[in-house]
């Protein structure tokens, strides 16, 4: 059975995604919004981290409280646009390791082409969060997750900001064990496999290229 995707409905996320979509939003604000939305998404995606009890002394008394139970995490952005999400994720979990997977979509076929892969050596002991703001056809996400699975991580979650139904279907079919978190589920893809209404080319908007 495949995991149900998490689709955010928080007003702060909806508000920030609106400004992310707006074509008048420049690169500086776009990067800030990607980081803020990633923090809010990671807050949800880390909700099931296990806790353990510790005894501490407050200025008043001794008490039993909880801390995260030593779980090791890894963040793996898909280059380029996923890089925009790394700082937001590290803001919440500074001790996480960061791997990188380089993929670009061939402009004609829209199929992903891999050009880089460097993952933490102990990834088999880690819970992996794959980061990419856009889930369009799903080709890049499906390929990146297949690469990571070859190294047998403990678990994989996929965190994106805007998803198309086509990409959501592709990832749940290929990787039913991977939970997908998205800030918005859009209508469809256009003839160039861009998300509608979407936000355009995320990498170009983050890095100011065209
Ligand atoms: C974008 C985006 C995803 C991919 C999504 O990257 O960041 O990685 O497209 O499309 P898909 O679901 O159809 O595979 P792009 O290929 O434009 O590369 P870039 O980030 O280096 O610009
Ligand atoms: N990649 C993007 O950056 N935007 C889209 O809409 C689709 C793929």
Predicted confidence (pLDDT) per residue in 87-129, tens digit = 999 999 999 999 999 998 888 898 999 999 999 999 999 999 9
CA distances, 129 to each of 27, 179, 192 (Å): 25, 10, 28
Q: Write out the E strands in 22-154.
A: 51-57, 62-68, 73-79, 97-98, 100-105, 112-118, 127-131, 134-135
- pLDDT, position 2: 79
Q: How confident is the model at residue 146 (pLDDT cuts 50, 70, 90)?
A: very high
Q: Are 83 and 120 in contact (CB under 8 A)?
A: no
50 pLDDT band, cuts 50/70/90, is very high
User: Which residues does ligand 2 sit against, CB inside 6 Å?
Assistant: 81, 134, 136, 194-195, 198, 201-203
Please determine, for residue 7, whether its predicted confidence score (pLDDT) is greater than 90.
yes
CA–centroid distance, residue 11 to ligand 1 (Å)? 27
Q: Across the chain, what does the average pLDDT equal?
A: 96
Q: Kindly name the residue from 71, 80, 105, 154 that is annotated as catalytic.
A: 105
Instruction: Tell me whether residue 186 is one of the annotated catalytic residues.
Output: no
Is the pLDDT at 148 greater than 90? The verdict is yes
Q: How confident is the model at residue 66 (pLDDT cuts 50, 70, 90)?
A: very high
Residue whose CA lies nearest to ligand 2 atom number 7: 194
């Amino acid at each position: 059975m495949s995991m149900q995707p998490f689709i955010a409905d928080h007003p702060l996320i909806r508000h920030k995604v609106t400004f992310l979509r707006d074509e008048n939003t420049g690169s500086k604000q776009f990067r800030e919004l990607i980081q803020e939305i990633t923090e809010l998404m990671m807050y949800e995606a880390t909700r099931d981290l296990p806790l353990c009890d510790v005894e501490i002394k407050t200025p008043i008394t001794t008490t039993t409280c909880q801390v995260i139970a030593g779980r090791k995490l890894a963040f793996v952005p898909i280059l380029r646009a996923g890089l925009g999400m790394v700082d937001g994720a590290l803001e919440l979990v500074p001790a996480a390791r960061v791997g990188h997977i380089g993929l670009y979509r061939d402009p004609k076929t829209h199929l992903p082409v891999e050009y880089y892969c460097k993952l933490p050596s102990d990834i088999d002991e880690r819970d992996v969060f794959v980061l990419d703001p856009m889930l369009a056809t799903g080709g890049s996400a499906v390929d990146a997750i297949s690469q990571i699975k070859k190294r047998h991580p403990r678990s994989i979650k996929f965190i994106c900001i805007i998803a198309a139904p086509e990409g959501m279907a592709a990832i749940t079919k290929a990787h039913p064990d991977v939970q997908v978190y998205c800030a918005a589920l859009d209508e469809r893809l256009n003839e160039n496999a861009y998300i509608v209404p979407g936000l355009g080319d995320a990498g170009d908007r983050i890095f100011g290229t065209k």
